[in-house]
Amino acid sequence: MGFFTNRLVLTIGLPLAQGLSVSQFGGVLAHEFGHFTQAIAMRLSYVIRTINMWFTRVIYERDTLDEQLIEWSKQGNVYWVLMAKLAVAMVWMARKVLWVLMATGHAVSAYMMRQMEYDADYYEQQVAGTANFKQTFLQMRLIHAGAQMAGNHLSESWKQRKLVDNLPLLTEYMMMSIRRRVCNRWKQSSMRTRAWRSGMRLIRRITSACGERQRMRAQEF
C-alpha cells in the first residue's frame, strides 16, 4: 500500500495455497482483505515503526563523535577530561530518555497491531468459521516452519548448483517431516504472548472474533 495513494497489492505465495484447504485459504484472503479497510491505521503504524527505527539507530549505534569523546575522557588536560566525561554522561542520559520514548512507541505500535489483527480476524471468521480459524492459525505456523526449512534446503542445494522443481511440494514435505513433539511445542507457544509482541493469545483472538460477530448480529435486530 502506498503511503500517499490507495493502491493496494496482495502477494500470496504458492506454498501457502498448497498447505491450506480451500476454506482455510479463503479465510486467509478475507483476513488480508480486512487489512485493506485499515488505511489510516496502516499509515499511522508505518509512521510509528519508522520513528522507532530512528530511535533504535540513535540509541544503539555509535559514531566518530562517541569514540572521540571517550578518547578525550581518558587522557589529556584534566579540565578537558572532566568536560569530556560530562559530555559522555549527558549523551548517556539523552539515550536513556530516547530509550523510554522508543519503548513507549513500540508498546503503542504493538497495541495497534493487535487491534488491527482482531479486526481482520473478524472478516476471516465470517468467511471460514471459528473451527477453520483455529486450524488455520496453527497450520500457518507449520507452513512458516516448513518454508524456512525449504529455504535452508535450497541454500544447501544451490551450493551444488541444484534447485528443486516444485517449491510448494518441498515446503509441504518439510511440514510433514516436523516431529509431533515440535508441533505440540508450537501449539503451546501460540497460546502465549507478551505485551511487547504484536501477536496475541489464540483463545483471545477467537473470542474477539466471535464476540464481534455476536455484536453485529445484535445490531441487525
Q: How many CB atoms lie within 10 A of CB 172?
A: 18
Q: Over the Cα atoms of the chain, what is R_g?
A: 24
Q: How far apart are CA 174 and CA 139, in angstroms?
A: 13
pLDDT given for residue 76 in this prediction: 73
pLDDT given for residue 97 in this prediction: 92
pLDDT given for residue 210 in this prediction: 58
Residue ranges of domains in the chain? 14-220
pLDDT given for residue 3 in this prediction: 64
Distances (CA, A) of 17 to 11, 24, 141, 167, 190: 12, 9, 14, 12, 22
pLDDT given for residue 181 in this prediction: 57
Name the grid cell of 52: 522507532
Full pLDDT tens readout for the chain, 221 residues: 556 677 788 888 888 888 888 999 999 999 999 988 888 888 888 888 888 889 888 888 888 888 888 888 887 777 888 888 888 889 889 999 999 988 988 888 888 888 898 889 888 888 888 888 878 888 888 888 888 888 898 899 988 888 888 888 888 888 887 756 565 565 555 555 554 454 455 556 666 665 554 444 444 43
pLDDT given for residue 48 in this prediction: 84
